[in-house]
Structure formats: C-alpha cells, structure tokens
Amino acid sequence: MAPVLFLAGCSYLIEEETEAEPSPTSEPEIEIEATPTPEEEPTATPAPDPSPTPEPTPEPTEVPEEELETVSLYIDSTLDVAGQTLVRESVDRLESLGSELGIEIELTSDGPSANVALFPRNMGPTGRTPLIGEPLIAVVRPDHLVDRVWQEQMTNLFNGTISNWSDLGGQDRDVHPVLSQSLAMPFTDTDAVRHPHDDLVAFAADNPGMIALIPRSAASIHVQSLIVDEIDPIRDELDTDNWPLWDSIEVLVDHPDEEIHDQLLDILMDGREARAHESRSMISVTGDVMLGRTPHRIMVEQNDWTAPFPLVADELQKGDLTIGNLECAITDSFEPPADPTTFSFMTFTQAVEGLELAGFHALSGANNHALDFGVVGMRDTTEALEAAGIQHFGTGDNLEQARQPCLLEHNGVTFGFLGYDAISMQYAGATEESGGVAPLVREYVMEDIERTREVADVVIPYFHWGIEYTLTPTEFDRRTAHMAVEAGADLVLGGHPHWVQGMEIYQNRAIFYSTSNFVFDQEWSFETKQGFVLHLIFDGTTLIGYRVVPVLIEDFHRPRIVEDDVRDTILGRFWESSQIIANTPYPQ
C-alpha cells in the first residue's frame, strides 16, 4: 500500500519505486560469443568494465504536513451552537475561512485562556466586541390594542416588571414573553420561554398576552410587530443607533500574533453592517372619499378646497402609494343639487387640490356614484384626476377600458389595481358600446387577474360590495374574495357598507372587507363616522404586515386620527367583525 500524506487538507498519493522482476513468460536472453573469420585479424576484446554496485532504491521521503495555527475557541454555556443562528454562523465562518488562512479551530472549556470567546450580549468581559446579526422585532397578536412601546417598557415586559398589558393601556392579558429558538437572548434578566417562531400563531392562540422576539425576516401578516421608540421595524430603515433589538452576541479575541488577531476579527465581523430596506413598499388605503353634498358646501363656504384633509394628510403621505375610493363626480359641467339630502354627489374640479394634499396616487371609481352625473360627469372626473397626475381605475368609456388595471411602481415592484362594482352594475355597468363601471362579474375578475399578472408583480382587486350599515360581509362577498385569491390575487380590498368591517386570511392572503367612510357627511351615527387608514407593508412582492389607523369624521367632512378610547372602540369593532368572520364557517 502506498502511503498517503495529508497536506493542508489535500491528500497526495506517493508511489514506492521497486525493482522490475522478470516476467515469467519471457524467453531468457542468451549471450553468443563472436568468432573471428579466417580472413580477419583477430581483434582483442577489451576487458569489460567492472559492473557498478547498484544503489539501493530510496525510501519515499515523508512530506511534513503544513503547519496549521491552532486557535482555541470558547463558547459560553448559555449559547446554543446548533440552535442559535448567529452562533452557528460564527463557528462555521471561523472553521471554513480559518482553514483557508492556515488556522485550525479547537474548542476549549477554558474561557480565560481562549483566543476567541463568544458570550451572550452584555455578559462578556471588558474589551468585548458586539457581533451584530439580524434585527429583531417584537410581535404580539394582531388584535392587540398596544401597538407601540418605549425601549424601557420593552425591557420591563421581558423581565416581569410589567406583567399585564392593561398596565400599558391594553387588554387585561397576562404578559407571556417568548424568544425564538434561533436567537441569542438580548435580555439578561428574563423568564422568556424558547419557542419556534414559525409556530407562534398557534402559541398566541393559547397565550393572548404573548410578546415574542423573532427575526425581522420572519415578519408576517399573522402577527403584529410593535413600534419601539416610534420606529416601525418592518417599515423603517434600521441601524444600531436607532434600533435597540438585534440578534447579537459578544466576542473577545485575544491572540499574541497581531496578524492572526486581525484575521480572526475580520472573519467574524465581515458583512455585519445593518442594511436599508431597499425592497420595502407601503401602500396606504382609505375608505370612501365623498366630496359632494355637505363637504362640497363647506369647501365653498370656507373657500378652501383642501378642507377635508389637513388633519390626515401627514398620515396618508407616509405611504409610498396611496389609494382610495372616490365616491363622487368631479365636474364643472353641472351645478350641485340644491337638496341638502341628495344622493347625487358631485364637486367642482378645484376639489382636486385636496386629493393632491392628501397624496393620492390612484382612486377607484368603481362604485354606485360614479354615474351620478352620467358618462359626462364620469369623463370629467377622470380628466380632472389625470390633469393632477392621479391615476384611476374601475371605470371607462367601454367595458374593456373599465376592466383595465392601474399600474403603479415602487422599488422595482409593479402593483396592479383593479376596481369592480357590485352595487350599481345592473344600471351603471360598462358595456362594449357604453361607458360605466367595471361590473363585478366573477368571470371578468378571474380573467382580469390572470391578465394583470402578466404586467404586474402584485395584483390587488378593490371591490364595491356588501350591505350598508352592517358589521360583517355577506356570503357573496366572501365567496368573491376567496375566488379572487384562488385566481391569483395577492390581496383583496373592499368597501361600501359605510361601517368598519373586519378582515380574514385565506390561503395566506389578506382580505379587508370594508375600510368604511373616510370623507363623508353621515353624522347621524357613531358607526358611520368611523373609518381607518390601512397601511399595507410589502417586502418585495410579499405582504409582511399591516397597520390599522382609526379615524373619526367630524363636522360633516373632516377625518382626524384618534387615540385612546375612541381608537380602541374602532379597533374593537374591526376585530369583533374579524372574529365573527373567523367563527362563521365558510359556506360550502
């Protein structure tokens, strides 16, 4: 057997030299002595040189293995090499990149003498360097009333100082702190339990007071991420200066060779910088925007065409794209009806100034007031919007136009919006020869979703459906929404009931049944004055979260963001509706 030498991780086969043995089948060689012929003088044959002594075959020389520099690694007993992502990645990097540099990693239990030591955050000795991994987010159940905390409150939730959410103005729920199994513990004083972050939804069902730390990459529509110190972790750019929660451990490097010392630090620290959310997009959605009747009269009296929007403009402008349902005609071709109770809604084209202030990028016209002033009023509306740079969808001069998607792009992602009306489609629906709204015909919806998928990354149908002044969607609404998801819709929006309705998740897609009123003059009930701004947060093409921001309409025309009890009441109705939907079996 030839010896095998291992050099720097590579094996080399050394063949031994041996003397050739005669083949057993070869003929023996016969020496014939030459005899001189008679004509030739005999020639003296020179004496042969003495045969040289054969040299012995040299033994193969052992090639010494390349010297590897042994580096001792200590891992604190509270860290989990197999389960915690950052620890496992660090060990893997030291082993793989270290071998390329001639470094061999050897585990040790002697922390003080180790060349490299890994510790939990805030527990290592002086001189430690933080190893920063992924930012962490604190998540709670979606129906949680507490949606933001300060950093000190976060710490107190995990160390037991705050034991019930009512202490922060939330529901009467005992706090149950949880930490994802893959993370290093960022708190040193906590009774948090370890739990797989992909099973938190089931855990939260049995523990409504759960608060869990998970990697930001695990954010989803099944949980609500808390805003900390007014920073929204799934929306805002994060770095170690503005965000306190990171999957992080601490490292101490102590090697006498300065070059190796620096190499070890480079291996561990490379690529640890926090990165901006280059692929994040937020779509902000409002309920019904009706600028006719009383809102129109107020704008005229105040000579202020932006009057409905100053208290909500900042909130709407947070969106990268802002969408709403325009429930009136915008036209100078008609005079507004004198009847203060009219159901024919219109305003003048100057009212576009308010839509611009609010930051709308596109508006759906697919509703039962799109043709209050006929096709002329509808065309005037679309022209006024286009002149202001606001796109529109759900109406058109014929059926093909009404079914066309509105395409909006942000951060390299194209969002396609489709609008359909189920309320007035029998008399206001567009046909091949006449203008009107896109009728909510399921075959049209399925065809349009499939067609829009070819030109858009995210497809969002916006339906005008349901029964006015009701808390839950109809069977038709739910069937239509589920059908849209099955056809390929990424998200479903709805409106018309003039009340807040809830949401459900179907095939991992969110359905929001009614965002209610946003600008309206239905002051005759508390429910019709309620609405919300819906912020939809996407990571690329995936909806990873949403925020429901309640509003209350005042003085017949002006919504404002509400806090405290009014906010909790509106959110309570939203989640009450959602619970009813969840508990109502889907009709088979």
pLDDT band at 20 (very low <50, low <70, confident <90, very high): very low
pLDDT band at 119 (very low <50, low <70, confident <90, very high): confident
Residue 265: predicted pLDDT = 87
Residue 274: predicted pLDDT = 46
Residue 435: predicted pLDDT = 97
Say whether pLDDT at 100 is over 90: no
Say whether pLDDT at 16 is over 50: no
Residue 347: predicted pLDDT = 98
Average pLDDT over residues 535-540: 97
DSSP 290: -
Query: By percentage, how much of the chain surpasses pLDDT 90?
Result: 66
The CATH architecture to which 280-583 belongs is 4-Layer Sandwich (3.60)
Mean pLDDT, the chain, rounded, equals 87
pLDDT tens digits for range 415-454: 999 999 999 999 999 999 999 999 999 999 999 999 999 9
Could you tell me how far CA 106 lies from the centroid of its own chain?
39
Least confident piece of the model among 89-103, 138-152, 328-342, 540-554: 89-103
Residue 348: predicted pLDDT = 98
Residue 6: predicted pLDDT = 28
pLDDT tens digits for range 51-70: 555 555 555 444 445 578 89
pLDDT tens digits for range 464-520: 999 999 999 999 999 999 999 999 999 999 999 999 999 999 999 999 999 999 999
181 in Cβ contact with 196 (< 8 Å): yes
Q: Where along the chain do the CATH 3.60.21.10 domains lie?
A: 280-583
Residue 198: predicted pLDDT = 74
Residue 232: predicted pLDDT = 95
Any idea which residue has 């805003």 for tokens?
227
Residue 28: predicted pLDDT = 39
More confident residue, 101 or 386: 386
Say whether pLDDT at 583 is over 70: yes
Question: In whole angstroms, what is the distance from residue 99 CA to residue 65 CA?
Answer: 14
Average pLDDT over residues 222-243: 92
Amino acid identity of residue 125, one-letter, is P
Question: In whole angstroms, what is the distance from residue 334 CA to residue 118 CA?
Answer: 75
Query: Beta 227-228 vs 503-506: how paired, if at all?
Result: unpaired
Residue 83: predicted pLDDT = 61
Least confident piece of the model among 181-195, 335-349, 538-552, 566-580: 181-195
Question: In whole angstroms, what is the distance from residue 60 CA to residue 2 CA?
Answer: 10
Residues constituting the chain: 588
CATH of domain 69-275: 3.40.190.10
Residue 157: predicted pLDDT = 94
Question: In whole angstroms, what is the distance from residue 531 CA to residue 548 CA?
Answer: 10
Say whether pLDDT at 315 is over 60: yes
71 in Cβ contact with 105 (< 8 Å): yes
Task: Quote the pTM value.
Answer: 0.83
Residue 230: predicted pLDDT = 95
pLDDT band at 279 (very low <50, low <70, confident <90, very high): confident
Residue 68: predicted pLDDT = 80
Residue 8: predicted pLDDT = 31
Say whether pLDDT at 26 is over 50: no
Question: In whole angstroms, what is the distance from residue 342 CA to residue 315 CA?
Answer: 31
**Cβ atoms within 10 Å of 237's Cβ, excluding its own:** 13
The winner for highest mean pLDDT among 95-99, 105-109, 200-204, 275-279 is 105-109
Least confident piece of the model among 48-62, 210-224, 251-265, 416-430: 48-62
Angle 560-564-570 from CA coordinates, rounded to 5°: 65
Question: In whole angstroms, what is the distance from residue 466 CA to residue 498 CA?
Answer: 10
pLDDT band at 15 (very low <50, low <70, confident <90, very high): very low
Q: Where along the chain do the CATH 3.40.190.10 domains lie?
A: 69-275
Question: In whole angstroms, what is the distance from residue 572 CA to residue 5 CA?
Answer: 73
